[in-house]
Amino acid sequence: MQNEERVFENFLRQYREIFRVLINAAEQITGQYSVSFEQYLLLKQIHEQRNITLSELADSTRTTRSAAARKLRALLLDGFVEQEAKMDDRRVKYLRLTDKGTTVEHDIRQAFLQSAETWNQIPTSLTSADITDFFTQYQQNIAVWDRTRPKFQRPILHAKRKALGGE
pTM: 0.65
> Which ranges in 32-165 belong to alpha helices (H)?
37-48, 54-60, 65-77, 99-120, 128-148, 155-163
Q: What are 70-82's pLDDT values in tens digits?
A: 999 999 999 999 9
pLDDT at 139 over 90: no
Are the C-beta atoms of 71 and 36 separated by less than 8 Å?
yes
User: Residue 129 corresponds to which amino acid?
Assistant: A
- Please state whether beta strands 93-97 and 81-85 pair in parallel, antiparallel, or not at all (unpaired): antiparallel
Structural domains in the chain plus CATH codes: 2-163 (1.10.10.10)
Q: What are 110-123's pLDDT values in tens digits?
A: 998 888 777 666 66
Give the pLDDT score at 96. Answer: 93
For residue 151, give the DSSP letter.
Answer: P
